[in-house]
A and B are shown apart, each in its own frame.
Chain A
Amino acid sequence: MTAGIDLGHPQAQAIQSDQDVVRVRQLIRTVAVAARLSLVDQTKLVTAASELARNTLIYGGGGEAEVTTVDNGLRRGVRIVFADDGPGIVDLGLALTDGYTTGGGLGLGLSGARRLVDEFDIVTGAGQGTRITVTKWSR
């Protein structure tokens, strides 16, 4: 028998390859189910995580995702931090614009992920890497 998810203890997943992006999705799904997010909220969070993990890999040159179950007294939620030591984002406003991309994608990764979560925080700058924190709360 496998042990249950230890709520409150962060779990980390390295993002160094395509397969790691798949692993991030699976980890987030497991934690979101354990945190009893609704099916739609699970789907939104896993989709956002997929976009952000891919960004960490492609633009950040790899990094890490760390997921924690959080509680604000009223609701339970899932918080994920995506961190990389890549080149960082110079023009954040532009990067958050729908359709803007430097990587040949659709330009929906960052802006779309932001719409899918309840809280979105980004710390970045030229040469400073990128650290994105997202939270989805149960309804």
Chain B
Amino acid sequence: MERVPVLKIGDILLVSIQLDMSDQTAIQLQDDLAERIVATGCHGVIIDITALDIVDSFVGRMLSTIASISKVLDAETVVVGMRPAVAITLVELGLSLNGIRTALNVERGMELIAATRPDDQGYDVDDEADDETTATT
């Protein structure tokens, strides 16, 4: 059975799914990720699905499950790179991807995770925040 590699980059685990996964491979990835979150203490998981032609109900459920598991293990999951045709199909299929956060690409996914955990040490110290609240675009 093929296996999807899980890479650790700083405080984030990065998974880029590059193959058409069998159901067994998807379940294996779910288990691997849970173990790696605990082993590494990472607080973020990014799943890049740019290469996926389709997301069916099985893979959709796997993504939801990974998001739930990681939350319990104190990590945020962000799914990035969903193709427009995949998004359209998912909605029509009736899959809501409950609890899954998404971002357009890996970079934005990393920003999202960083924003979720501004300061791991405790309170959010805001003294150097730039004052852009009145800026318009």
What is A's interface to B at a CB cutoff of 8 Å? 18-19, 21-22, 25-26, 29, 39-40, 42-44, 46-47, 50-51, 54, 98, 105-106, 108-109, 111-113, 115-116
Contacts and interface: CB of A to CB of B under 8 A. Distances in A.
On chain B, which size bracket covers the interface? 20 to 34
Given A43-B54, A47-B54, A111-B94, A26 B20 contact: yes
Max count, chain B CB within 10 A of own CB: residue among A25, A40, A42, A43: A43
Contact of A25 (B20, B24, B88): B20
B22 A18 contact: yes
B89 interface: yes
A19 B2 CA distance: 10
- The SS class assigned to the A binding surface is helix
Given A43-B88, A112-B94, A106 B61 contact: yes
Contact of B22 (A19, A51, A98, A108): A19
B18 interface: no
Interface of B: 20-24, 53-58, 60-61, 83-86, 88-89, 92-95
Top 7 A-B residue pairs of the complex, sorted by shortest distance between their CB atoms: A112-B93, A43-B85, A18-B22, A50-B56, A108-B57, A47-B54, A40-B85
- The SS class assigned to the B binding surface is helix
Contacts of B56: 47, 50-51, 54
B23 A54 contact: yes
Contacts of B22: 18-19, 21-22
Given A43-B54, A46-B54, A50-B56, A98 B94 contact: yes
30 contacts: A18-B22, A18-B23, A21-B22, A25-B53, A25-B54, A39-B85, A40-B84, A40-B85, A42-B85, A43-B54, A43-B88, A47-B89, A47-B93, A50-B56, A54-B23, A98-B94, A105-B57, A105-B61, A106-B57, A108-B93, A108-B95, A109-B57, A111-B94, A112-B57, A112-B92, A112-B93, A112-B94, A115-B93, A115-B94, A116-B93
